């Protein structure tokens, strides 16, 4: 592909032609080479519009990174609990289970 075949295109448009060649292959660009300069510009602009739309669609469909989950309490929760005194001779496990 020679830039002289697309001398009327600006650098950005010619870069799009190079992208098209990479995607569709050189054989597919033969019809673009045979087209009039106005048709070439129209096709390149259509490709650019499609490419921008595809990029925007892909960016929109990507999930944003999850926000860091912050605990609802900034300070640790402190509880005041009275000590278990139990009954004389009772163990904690037997008292808790209701066994003598």
Query: Region 52-61: what's the mean pLDDT?
Result: 87
Listed range (2-6, 23-27, 36-40, 95-99) with the worst mean pLDDT: 95-99
Say what the pLDDT of residue 65 is: 65
Query: Region 36-52: what's the mean pLDDT?
Result: 93
Contact (CB, 8 A) for 5 and 31: no
Spatial distance between the Cα atoms of 37 and 16, rounded to a whole number of angstroms: 15
What tokens does 56 get?
């925007």
Nearest to 17 by CA among 42, 94, 56: 42
Per domain, the residue ranges of the chain are 3-61
Say what the pLDDT of residue 88 is: 75
Does the model's pTM come out above 0.75? no
Which residues, including other chains, have CB under 8 Å from residue 84's CB and lie 6 or more apart? 92, 95
Spatial distance between the Cα atoms of 20 and 13, rounded to a whole number of angstroms: 11
What tokens does 98 get?
């209701």
Say what the pLDDT of residue 40 is: 92
pLDDT at 22 over 70: yes
Say what the pLDDT of residue 86 is: 72
Query: Region 48-74: what's the mean pLDDT?
Result: 78
Say what the pLDDT of residue 74 is: 72
């Amino acid at each position: 592909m020679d830039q002289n075949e697309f001398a009327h295109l600006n650098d950005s448009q010619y870069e799009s032609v190079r992208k098209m060649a990479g995607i569709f292959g050189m054989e597919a660009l033969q019809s673009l080479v045979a087209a009039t300069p106005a048709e070439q510009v129209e096709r390149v602009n259509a490709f650019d519009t499609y490419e921008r739309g595809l990029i925007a669609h892909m960016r929109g469909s990507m999930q944003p990174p999850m926000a860091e989950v912050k605990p609802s309490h900034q300070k640790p929760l402190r509880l005041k609990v009275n000590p278990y005194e139990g009954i004389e001779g009772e163990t904690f496990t037997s008292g808790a289970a209701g066994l003598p």
